[in-house]
Each structure stands twice: as C-alpha cells, then as structure tokens.
Amino acid sequence: MYDMNITAAQYTTDFEGNNTGIKATIDGTEMTVPLDPANRHYAEIMRQVNAGQITIAEAD
C-alpha cells in the first residue's frame, strides 16, 4: 500500500438518497469508489479521513 494523493471526495447516492459510493480524484484521476472495505481506494480514503487528512463531502 502507498499514500494516494486524494484531492477531492464526495458521496454519490441512488434515487432514494442512499450513499452508494464516493466520487474522488485520486492521483489526478476522477474515480467512483464503492463503499467496500476490501477495495484499496476506499480503504485508503477512510484511512485518510480517520487521520484527519481529508473529508468526504455530502452528495449534491
């Protein structure tokens, strides 16, 4: 694992308003990250959130 450069993170939702993923810019590329702890991008986002390095914005 390495420190990913995460410059933006915002939840995405389904039509019922439930969070389904996180749209994030990681190492310069916009990605849709699922809320799966086994996904390495999600794990790194949450690590950086817990370390106070980034926050995840609510969905529009």
- Contact residues for other proteins (CB under 8 A)? 1-2, 4, 12, 14-15, 20-21, 27, 29-36, 38-42
Cβ nearer to other proteins, comparing 31 with 55 = 31
Residue 8 contacts residue 55 (beta carbons within 8 Å): no
Look at residue 41 and give its three-state secondary structure.
Answer: helix
Tokens matching residue 57: 């914005």
Cβ nearer to other proteins, comparing 29 with 50 = 29
Tell me how far, at minimum, the Cβ of 41 lies from other proteins, in Å: 5
Bridge partners (DSSP) of residue 16 are none
